[in-house]
Amino acid sequence: MPSNACDISQRLYGNIDEIGLDADIETEISSLGPRKIKSPYVAKRGIQFVGDEERVIAHLAYNSISEVISKGGELISFEYAGPRRDIYFDPSKAKAAIVTCGGLCPGINDVIRAIVMTLHFGYGISSIIGIRYGLRGFIPDYQLPVMELTPKNVEKIHELGGTILGSSRGHQPIDIIVDTLERLNTSMLFIIGGDGTFRAGAKIVEEINRRRLKIAVVAIPKTIDNDIYLVSKTFGFDTAVEMACQAIRCAHTEAVGAPNCIGLVKVMGRHSGFIAAAATTALREVNYCLIPESDFELEGDGGLLNVLRKRLIERNHAVIVVAEGAGQKFFDAKKLGKDPSGNVRLGDIGLFLKQKIKEYFDSIGMECFIRYIDPSYIVRSVPANVDDRLYCANLGQNAVHAAMAGKTGLMISLWNDRYVHIPLASAIKKRKTIDLTGRLWLSVLESTGQPCLK
C-alpha cells in the first residue's frame, strides 16, 4: 500500500478500522478473584447488569462473520463494560485512590468527579483519596499529602480546566508506589493518563501481582492527541478540536485581511496529527495541513515554499495548520535533549516555519505577511465541552464498575460505540496514528487540495 499522500488509496474504512488491529492482541481481562458480594445496584429497579460473557466485536471491516469462520479465523472481541450483579469488594471496607498524570487535558476533572460520585452514591464507598501531582505523590520524599475526595468537594470541579489533583511527568520507583498503596490500605487505584502513564500502570500491576496483593488497577485514557491504541477517541479531543478551530478561524480572517498574507496555526500532536486533521476537515478553510505521519519538504518545485508562492500569486492568501510533531527531521534531536519522561524534546516547528517562510519570500523579493498563532496551552487548559463532559462521565462510571467487580490491569475504552475493557498490556503495544490511506486523511486532502509537498 502507498505510504504517503502522493498515491492515496480509495479504501474507505471507518476510523476504528484505520487503527489497524494486531491479530495477536490480548483481550482477556484479569480478575482479583471470585465475586461473592451482591452489588448495591441489585436493590435498584431497572438496572441492566452486564455479564462477562458479553463481548463487543472489535473490527468493522470483516466481509462477513461466516467468511471469517470458514477460513478458520477468530473474531477479535472485547469484554463489555458496565455494572456486574456481583462484585468483589465490600463497599463498607473498600478504599479508592485516584491519580492524574502527564499533561493537562480538558475533562480530567469531569472524570475525577464521575469516579467519586459513582463510588459514593452508587456503591456507598466513603473513603476516596486523590494522589497529588501524579506518580510523585506516592513517593515519601516529596512529602505531598493526599486529598480527601467527597461529593461536596468535587461537586463543581467539572466547571474548571486542568486537574484539582495536579499532575507531573517523569518516572518514579514502582516498588515505592506499591509500598504506598499498601500503607494506604488501597483497594483500587484509578489512573488517568496517557501512553507513558499506562506503561507505568502495567508495571504497577506486575508488582501488585508479584506481591499477591488484592488491589484493582483501572486506567482511563487521557490525551488530547488521541494517540492511544485501541481507543476510538480519547476524552478532551473534541474540546481540543473545537478550540483549534477557533484559532484557525482567526488565522483565516487575518490571512484574507491583508495582501499576500499567510495564517499559520500550530496545534498539539506530538506523534499523531488527529487534532490538525480533524480541525482541517471541520473548517474547510485550511490550505495545507502538516502532520507527523506525512513527510514534507520545504525546498524544491514541489516543496512547501514554492507551493506557497504559487498559492499567493493565485489567491493572495493561505492558511497552514501544523501539528507540533510535524517536520522534526529539520531539527537536531541530540541538541533538543529529552523531557523528564524520557521523550525526545520537540523542535518548535511553528516558529521554524514562520522564519523559513519569511526568509524565502525575502530572498525572492516578494512581499509576504505572516500571522502566527499558537494556542497549545489554551487548548489543553480549558474546561471540557458538552460532548466531552458526557464522555468523561461514562468513562468514570464504567471504570468504577470494573474496579468494584475486581477487574484489574485494564483500560476503559470506547469501541464501536460501546464501552469495553481493554487489557493494559494491549493498550501499550503501540501508538495510534493517522492512516495515510484511510478516510480521515483522504478527507483532509479533499478539503485542502494540497499536493504531496515533495
Is 225 tagged catalytic?
A: yes
| CA 100 – CA 190 distance, rounded (Å) | 9
SS (H, E, C) the chain: CCCCHHHCCCCCCCHHHHCCCCCCCCCCCEECCCCCEECHHHHCCCCCCCCCCCEEECCCCCCCHHHHHHCCCCCCEEEECCCCCEECCCCCCCEEEEEECCCCCCCHHHHHHHHHHHHHHHHCCCEEEEECCHHHHHCHHHCCCCEECCHHHHCCHHHCCCCCCCCCCCCCCHHHHHHHHHHCCCCEEEEEECHHHHHHHHHHHHHHHHCCCCCEEEEEEECCCCCECCCCCCECHHHHHHHHHHHHHHHHHHHHCCCCEEEEEEECCCCCCHHHHHHHHHHCCCCEEECCCCCCCCCCCCCHHHHHHHHHHHHCEEEEEEECCCCHHHCCHHHHCECCCCCECCCCHHHHHHHHHHHHHHHCCCCCEEEEECCHHHHHHCCCCHHHHHHHHHHHHHHHHHHHCCEECEEEEEECCEEEEEEHHHHCCCECCCCCCCHHHHHHHHHHCCCCCC
- φ, ψ dihedrals at 31, nearest 5°: -130, 150
What is the rounded distance in angstroms from the CA atom of residue 261 to the CA atom of residue 51?
Answer: 59
CA atoms within 13 A on the CB side of 58: 23
Active-site residue (options: 225, 227, 238, 388): 225
Among the listed residues 188, 217, 186, 216, the one whose alpha carbon sits nearest the alpha carbon of residue 201: 217
Active site residues: 225
